Amino acid sequence: MRIKKLRLAVVRNFFCPSIARLLLLLLLNASSWQAYGQSTTAQMITLHFKNAPIENVLMEIQKQTPYRFMFNDKILRDANHVTLDIEQQAIDLVLAQVFRGQPLTYSIRDKTIVVSYKKQENGKRLKGKVVSINGGTPIEGASVAVNGQVLTTTDRNGSFVLENSDNGRLSISSMGYNSYEGNISLLFSENSIIRLTEKNYVFDSIDIVSTGYQQLSKERATGSFDYLSGKLYNEQVRTNVLDGIQYIANGVSLNNRINANGQLSVRGLSTIEGPKDPLIIVDNFPYNGNISNLNPNDVESITVLKDAAASSIWGAKAGNGVIVITTKKGKYGQHFKMDLTQNTTVSDKPNLFYLPNISSSDFIDVEEMLFANGYRFSDTASADHTPFSPVYETLFQKKNGNITASEAMARINTYRNHDVRNDFEKYFYKKGINQQYALSATGGSEKHNYALSGSYDRDIDNLNGQFNRATLKTLNSFKPSKQLEISVGLNYNHSENIQGRPSYGSIITTNGQIPPYTMLTDASGKSIPLYKDYRQGYIDTLGNGLLQDWHYYPLTDYKYSHITNTVEDIVTNLGLRYQVYKDLSIQGLYQYEMQSTDAKSLYDENSYFVRNLVNSFSQINYSNGSVTKIIPQGQILDKSLTKMYANQARIQLNYNHGFSKGALSLLAGGEIRQIHTASNSYRTYGYNDNILTSTNVDLANTYPNLVQGYTDFIPSGTGFSDNLNRMVSVFANGSYVYLGKYTLSSSVRRDASNIFGVATNNKWKPLWSTGLSWDLSQENFYHLLWMPKLKLRVTYGYSGNIDPSISAVTQLTYASTSPYTNTPYSRITQFSNPDLRWEKIGTYNLGLDFQLTGGILSGSIDYYHKKGSDLYGPYLLDRTTGLSVSNITKNVASMASNGMDLLLNSIVINHKFKWLINLNVNYNKDKILDYYGTNYNTGGLGITGEKGKPVYSLYSYKWAGLDGQTGDPLGYLNGTISKDYTAIINAGTQSQNLQYNGSVMPTFFGTIGNTFSYKDFGLDVRCTFQAGYYFMSSSINYNNLYASSQGHSDFSKRWQKPGDERYTDVPSMIYPANSSRDAFYNGSDALVEKGGNLRLQYINLNHSWQNIRIRKGMIRSIRLYCVANNLGILWRENKKKIDPDYQNSVIPPARNYSMGFQFTL
């Protein structure tokens, strides 16, 4: 009944509202399309001509429109024949194609189109020929432009003639081919044939770069960026929009060692203690919600802004780099297009035996040794009644004469042959499955375009945890007049997380980890208890049967805990753009976002959580056998609600003007931003989810704990928080292109925030950048025909970083009620810090873009230097201030980094069989310039703080091997071999007494992608590599083994007799454990490993069909694909078979396999 009810609730609460909203928005969009389409349908034109006289084309246009042509017959005799394939396009777009490359021009007067000759100028008559690089096939109909103006097209032989053109920039483009650009004087210094590479078989060209504020042509961009096309992005199947971006983007990395959740970085670190995540922009504005809300199928492209010239327009939040996500949009004059995508991904079970756990038999040997030494015998009299392991309880029973020695041995031998990981694999872990469905439609008319998309994801992970997500996105743009454009958009996302079964390592006791031999069932498969908080004999008899069952059953307990997290995110956009006159426009943008996060934890009365809490506060009267339950029976409901409201508005002036020798582009504006986050939480006791009732409890008084006897309040689970951040910004950006080869760019921005200090100079932060590019290939002295493109870029500027969690004023946090005064009490969480200000990151970048003839090799190389100043860091306080802390965060730290980015694209084979290579190679090394406080014993997981060394550095104790007689580890103290571990550790506070191993973050990293294609088949293979870094491997720690059951497989490799030191570095086992001895060994150079690795990340096999005719129309394309991901390490530098990309206690992701299709109509 419970499962059935839960399913009905999911359908009612998740699917029904989503479907209702989807239908409503579909109807609204359909109405807008129909209404707007009625005003434009009359002027939409369809033409299909091949090498036809232009007069025939003009007559057909007259038939389909109210327009009439006026011309002289003699004029049309001089016109070129026309080839057109046009479906439902507006009159102005059609005329532009009809007269492209003609010696004629036209003008529109009311409904009359007058055709006349173009004006002629004196000049040089030049001829050329355009062919395919693959076989030299002539290309007919290619557009030939000079200085951006199309003058003619090629004939059936690929030939063209340019009249009056002896200087300027030549551009040649044709559908299905990559464009060519070159200098006319260089091209026609001798008769040259221009060869175009086919688009289907080469890399996606970058024509436009999106910064979130403007669309820049690649010629105007002086900064460093990386562009990810939709084709490259879709080589992987992903649930979250940024999953796997580090495998395809240049300069982007993901580090799972310094952050177990994965630290995404652009060009390494830019800060020490500040936020390290890059800024995420989605369609013009920073995205404030959970990035997992977004539908990956909506992504058109991604641009990574890497240097100050590219990212400084975003000012005080761009110091860690900027990732600009552009979603799919409709286009004016575009005929209807619909995409249907579906895929299914199956994930293998994780390999639990990857973790180097101590074997059950070895662990039992340790327990028998500890028992023989009387370890923890005093706990039998403890008021906490802490539990013992099953083997320990067996040994106690044997010691007390409750069982015989043979019975104890038989029971213990049963444990020796059992590994709890097998139980987890059998009962908890299954294959995961993810299903994605996405539908999108785009189109447009002369005055209206639209985009509508929806998706549904259903993800069941390896532990039966569920993630369901529905998204809906709509965007409409209108041109009610030539000067005005209006855009209206709405994004709706609804997701639900439902917790599944417990993962390996998540079940713990008050003593630490569960023993490796723990059994979840008996021989018959029946669930058996695990003594989690209290000793077996104690809770078996406590209360004489008056209490609820106090046993914890790990196999079934999760079934009585229902934990869900529901996120609803709504983003609305409004955009206005008014063309004041030809070169000047004014633009206004507004975005509102509301994200609601509703967390619900419902614990049934049969759950251990409820039974433990009810029993702990129960009061037993043994004289009459009654029990007073201070906490009532029933369910316990924990709920929390967090709402985030974000308002962002921008007004912007855009100016673009072309001169005879150059072009000027300017923008300036201001924006305001407010983010308000409020949350509350509460707990309800005696709850009944069926009839929605609850029971009051006394939260104002204290009650004794039944086990320990101390008094405490009943947990209320109540909490409130409220946070408001405001920002105001003014900005300007400009670029000037001179002679098409020299570009100067500059930007300036000033941000202010309410979280910074008293002085105006601290509230406001001015940031700026400037850049220069030089297209050498356009110079008259440039004669490298084998390298038709060579461009030099140099930029310098500043961007910023901000931590919204800190402020310049004193902050108080009110905690729970004091048991002594029965009133709320507060604590100071942040002390007054009036000089607090923004972090500032300066970046110098020198770049070179190049391309060889025919595009057989192209790419870029960038060198950069970053320096972060005014960075957040600890500042030592005067102890006489009387504060409870020794330091506060101030702008007192600094760091620097140097790096290089290399991007290479190569066409290795370009025949029927194609082979392309994409190579990203990145180098980055940072160092601390100024920082107070050092901590060398981080194991590579924390900030060391040593000046001149990387932020995350690995230091280790110098290793001298093992003592041949005792197996004790040996180190160095003042240059002498020593076993004074306490002194060695104390001396380890100085770097000169330690071994510096290197950076924890890879200094070299990159990816290499191979694309193979034959006819309609394609194969993409992507590998990643990392090098130049170190990590500390895990090993046995005897103190942790004895105290909290944390064992390690290295136990079996330990020193046991003289001579073993020649084969092992694992110290001998001693009793009692020496924590300093363990700390020395676990932090020693003996455990340091190199992290270099090469892994096969994914393989994508696909097949496409184009232009499939069906009875009532045509399918543009069908694409089938199979993707295998996380395929494993091909080579690693360490000999222990450790995956260096993950922390020692983390299991690397399992392989997953996807199959899917995409229909385009």
Q: 273 with 805: CB under 8 angstroms?
A: no
Q: How many CB atoms lie within 10 A of CB 567?
A: 20
What's the pLDDT at 56? 83
Q: What was the pLDDT predicted at 660?
A: 78
In the numeric block, the tokens 């300093």 are attached to 1076
pLDDT for 87 equals: 80
Give 926's strand partners.
897
Please report the pLDDT score of residue 213 as a whole number. Answer: 72
Q: Which CATH superfamily is domain 126-196 in?
A: Carboxypeptidase-like, regulatory domain (2.60.40.1120)
For the chain (length 1161 residues), average pLDDT per consecutive 10? 36 40 40 38 73 84 82 74 83 84 80 74 67 71 72 77 69 74 59 66 54 66 87 93 94 90 92 92 88 90 87 80 91 88 96 95 97 94 92 95 94 95 96 96 91 96 96 95 93 96 94 94 92 90 88 95 96 94 92 96 96 94 88 94 96 88 89 94 94 91 90 90 90 89 91 67 77 91 89 93 82 73 77 83 94 88 95 84 77 95 94 93 96 83 90 95 96 94 88 91 96 94 97 95 95 96 96 96 96 97 87 83 96 94 90 95 87
Cis peptide before 480 (omega within 30 of 0): no
β-pairing verdict for 126-132 and 193-196: parallel
* Cα separations in angstroms, 574 against 114, 314, 452, 589, 855: 39, 20, 16, 6, 41
Q: Is 933 left (phi over 0), alpha (psi -120 to 50) or beta?
A: left
Nearest of 95, 83, 190 to residue 139 by alpha carbon:
83
How far is the C-alpha of 220 from the C-alpha of 1047, rounded, in Å?
60
Query: What does the domain layout of the chain look like in residue ranges?
Result: 42-117, 126-196
Instruction: Give the pLDDT of residue 751.
Output: 86
Tokens 């060869």 correspond to 195
CB under 8 A, 24+ apart: contacts of 529-536: 529/553, 530/554, 531/387, 531/388, 532/387, 532/608, 533/386, 533/387, 533/509, 533/612, 534/385, 534/386, 534/387, 534/707, 535/380, 535/385, 535/386, 535/387, 535/388, 536/387, 536/388, 536/393
For the chain, what is the total number of helices (H) and then of strands (E)? Answer: 18, 59
Q: How far apart are CA 539 and CA 1032, in angstroms?
A: 42
pLDDT of residue 237: 94
Residue count (the chain): 1161
Tokens at residue 229, please?
């096309």
pLDDT reported for residue 16: 41
Give me the pLDDT at residue 189, please. 43
Question: How is 268-335 classified by DSSP, letter by letter?
Answer: S-S-SSS--PPEEEETTEE--S-GGGS-GGGEEEEEEE-SHHHHGGGGGG-TT-EEEEEE----TTPP
Can you say how many angstroms the Cα of residue 726 is from the centroid of all Cα atoms in its chain?
A: 25
**Closest CA relative to residue 145, chosen from 137, 136, 153:** 153
Tell me: domain 42-117, CATH 3.55.50.30, correct?
yes
- Of 640, 616, 649, the closest CA to residue 630 belongs to 616
Q: Specify whether the CB–CB gap between 918 and 203 falls below 8 A.
A: yes
Instruction: Please state at what angle helix 405-416 crosses helix 390-399, rounded to 10 degrees.
Output: 170
Indicate the pairing of strand 68-70 with strand 112-117.
parallel
Q: Say if CB 1015 and CB 912 are below 8 A apart.
A: yes
What is the value of pTM for the model shown? 0.82
- 651 CB-side CA count, 13 A: 1
557, 580 Cβ separation under 8 angstroms = no
Calpha distance 868→931 (Å, rounded): 12
Give the model confidence (pLDDT) of 1081-1136 as tens digits: 999 999 999 999 999 999 999 999 988 877 767 788 899 999 999 999 999 999 99
Among residues 1069, 1077, 1068, 1035, the alpha carbon closest in space to that of 964 is found at 1068
pLDDT for 1145: 86
* Runs of H (alpha helix) within 554-645: 608-616
- 42-117 and 126-196: same fold? no
Q: Which amino acid does the sequence have at 943? A: I
3-state DSSP assignment of residue 746: strand
Q: Give the long-range contacts of residues 945-951, CB within 8 A, separation 24 or more.
A: 946/991, 949/996, 950/925, 950/926, 950/998, 950/999, 950/1000, 950/1001, 951/269, 951/272, 951/895, 951/926, 951/927
Contact (CB, 8 A) for 728 and 751: yes
Q: What is the four-CA torsion angle of 55, 58, 63, 68, rounded to 10 degrees?
A: -110
Interhelix angle 360-372/390-399, nearest 10 degrees: 40
Axis crossing angle, helix 405-416 with helix 360-372, rounded to the nearest 10 = 140
Residue 939's SS3 state is coil
Query: What's the chain's Rg over C-alpha atoms?
Result: 35
CA atoms of 559 and 501, how far apart (whole Å): 8
CA 231 vs. chain centroid, Å, equals 18
